Amino acid sequence: MPQDGQEFSPFPVEDSNVRAAVTGLPAKIRPALRWYTIRRLNHDAHTIDVDVVTHGDNGPGTHWIRKAQPGDTAGIYTGQARWQEPRKSQLLLADASALPALWHILEHYEAFSPDALGGVDVVALIASDDEIEDGFEETWSGKVRSLTMISAPHEEHIARARQLLDSRFAPDTAPDSVWVSGEGDLAKAVRAIAVHDWGVPREDVIWSVYWIQGKPRP
């Protein structure tokens, strides 16, 4: 995303390392870099849909998107998805920042492996109702094995998630794989529960830090 008043200029990316390529650009033209999940791709219209959680004007993504107008330019560089469809049961846990990715995963299940939705447990953590897309619970609650919405202040998310997971899962009832994305400490805490408390193999726990409480994401 270009700096204010600038147009985006493509730049070469070697070895698929976009961050290194951006860092190597002169500061006066260096664009901001963020990762987003493509919700939908329309080949005929040549468009993509990307959901962006706006939370003030502190991050580069929200700063750009709140000011963007039709015709403004930005660069899109593709990467490898962190999620891969499991063979058995799976826990999907996300806070508001990762809910677009969570919805996309569920849509993938529905399109390609609808029967597998019966082995999926979903946990969504939000601070208020306006952080979640309308119809989320109604769309998926009858299709997945379980769907739990936790509405609480951000500082309570780790404790509330642990309380729920401790009450619902144990080593002999744990999901075969886990996907957790959102705030850094939340993602790390859920990963630790899955690996150390339930015994889920590390390679079957996919975790991604979308943001870090109290400081900007590198």
Tokens read off for 21: 């390529």
169 within 8 A of 175, measured Cβ to Cβ: yes
Number of domains in the chain: 2
Residues for the chain: how many in total?
A: 218
59 plus 98 within the same structural domain:
no
In tens digits, the chain (218 residues) has pLDDT values of 999 999 999 998 877 688 899 999 999 999 999 888 888 889 999 999 988 767 666 778 888 988 999 999 999 988 777 787 777 899 999 999 899 899 999 999 999 999 999 999 999 999 999 888 889 999 999 999 999 999 999 999 999 999 999 999 999 999 999 999 999 999 999 999 999 999 999 999 999 998 888 876 66
Domain that holds residue 97: 90-211
20 plus 116 within the same structural domain:
no
Tokens read off for 57: 């004007």
Report which of 194, 206, 214 is spatially closest to residue 85, judged by C-alpha positions: 206
The pTM (predicted TM-score) of the whole model is 0.85
Answer yes or no: is 68 within a domain. Answer: yes
Final residue before a domain boundary, out of 46, 80, 114: 80
